[in-house]
Amino acid sequence: MPISNYLTIDVEDYYHVSAFEKISPPATWAGRESRVEQNTDRVLEILDESSVKATFFVLGWVAERFPALVPRIAQQGHEIASHGYLHQRVALQDRNSYREDICRSKKLLEDQLGAAVDGYRAPSYSITRQTDWAFDELLEAGYRYDSSIFPMQHDFYGIPDWPRFAGYAVKNSAGWAASDKPTATALRELPITTLRLGQRNFPIAGGGYFRLLPYAVTRWGLSRINRQEQQPFIFYLHPWEFDPQQPRMPGCSAKSRFRHYLNLSRTGSRFKRLIKDFSFVPIQSGLDLD
């Protein structure tokens, strides 16, 4: 029987991404052409065609602006989780503003959904060693699991020495640490999946890496995790990655332009192959939270 992996969609618009944070601050968002609703509907259509269910980490700002979107996602059998309210990296917020952001998003999504929202993912996977106080705030806000840690080095995120597979973030006298067992103060943690080769972790499970690498390489790496390590992987994409016609953002750096726009026209076809080649479930249905 194939391993059930976790499929996740981070619901944000093209102008929300951290690579554009200097040229697209929140004050400008309302005046930009929004494409998140139609792009999310495209993802839903592909998933429906293959009878695959996923976890949708929805940005609160998007849910508030398009109040029919969260109920529509949920009605098709998908899990709703929180991506925060504003797409701002944790390191750019103080604890009070972060607390307000994650609580505002949770309440908004729960009001639209009529049910509890258990999961959270930080914008740009930005919980790091320097911002692990975020775990205190997530527990206090009532979240039951987090999927924000990327066990690799990156200019926006990463805890390279964090365990690669699901476990717990636990608090002890020295602060927050990874553990395979819960303590009195613990949060389930599902890191973004990486591929271990030699002494390094490499990105393999979504986003720009999915668009950069040939699909055969992605399939090989993910299959290796399922077959050799006997572990599920966590895969992620964004609705804007299915939209090669999205408006171009003027003023972004060459590196950001490359990361954001590379191979957008190939995402849809690759994604269809992915959900045929692997078995997927939402996080909540494959995770024992009791």
Q: How far apart are CA 6 and CA 288, in angstroms?
A: 14
Contact 286, 50 (CB under 8 A): no
For 4-286, the fitting CATH number among 1.10.10.10, 3.20.20.370, 3.40.50.2000, 2.40.110.10 is 3.20.20.370
* Mean pLDDT of the chain, nearest integer: 95
CB atoms closer than 10 angstroms to residue 134: 25
For residue 212, CA distances in Å to 1, 177, 205, 245 come to 30, 32, 11, 18
Question: Taking 80 as the threshold, does the pLDDT of residue 289 lie above it?
Answer: no
The model carries a pTM of 0.96
Domain residue ranges in the chain: 4-286
CB atoms closer than 10 angstroms to residue 206: 25
- The DSSP secondary-structure symbol of 191 reads P
pLDDT by residue (tens digit) across 224-253?
A: 999 999 999 999 999 999 999 999 999 999
